[in-house]
Amino acid sequence: MAIIAYARSCSRNTPGNSKVFLTEIASMTSFTITSGEVSAVTPNATAKFHQYGADMDTIQMTSEGKGGATYNQTQNLIFKMSKKTKTLIAALDALRDAVPCGLLAIRQDNNGQCFLLGWSAADGNGRPFTQMTDTFDSGTKPDDEGANACTVTLTRMGGYDEIPFDATLTAAIVGGTATFIAY
């Protein structure tokens, strides 16, 4: 691949993410990539991405790449969910069961952009999230800020960055009408 020009955008940039959606890699048949963006999602039968109700301002995606003749990125998707309930325990158990086979994620950032993580157009399936850590801190007193919450970190390694969704699918995801997501 040849070096390309990059023109800096002078528009407002709002850091952070507002939503995260997860599914098993085996739940998706294919993704269509057009001009470097996801333009179609084909799930298996009735499979869908599921929204994980993370606490406001706790969803973070980090990426660190390094290489020479080869290049690799380690990507982490981190989010926090508060108030331990049987529903949260069941959601965490489902993630723990699914992560050995691989998870895909969609993140919606605070600029209204959506990205697919864990899949690559270059090799037709990519490297999904296959590692998970979770921590829980009950806190010690009622005014412990950020306590009584579980922090989940999903980790993947791969040679490719996340893939943005095109304008049509982004509008459907942000608008809550994407048929491949269980809101």
pLDDT given at position 123: 66
For residue 66, what is the DSSP state? E
Backbone angles phi, psi at 171, to 5 degrees: -60, -40
pLDDT given at position 90: 95
pLDDT given at position 94: 95
Residue 146, strand partner residues: none
* Cβ neighbours of 101 (radius 10 Å): 11
pTM of the model: 0.89
> Rounded to 5, what percent of the chain is helix, strand, coil?
15, 45, 45
Apex CA 92: angle with CA 86 and CA 97, to 5°?
A: 125
Distance of CA 51 to CAs 12, 67, 116, 157, Å? 27, 34, 14, 23
What string of pLDDT tens digits covers the 183 residues of the chain?
A: 677 676 667 667 777 889 999 999 999 999 999 999 999 999 998 899 999 999 989 999 999 999 888 888 999 999 999 999 999 999 999 999 999 999 999 999 999 999 999 998 776 667 899 999 999 988 888 887 778 899 999 999 987 889 999 999 999 999 999 999 998
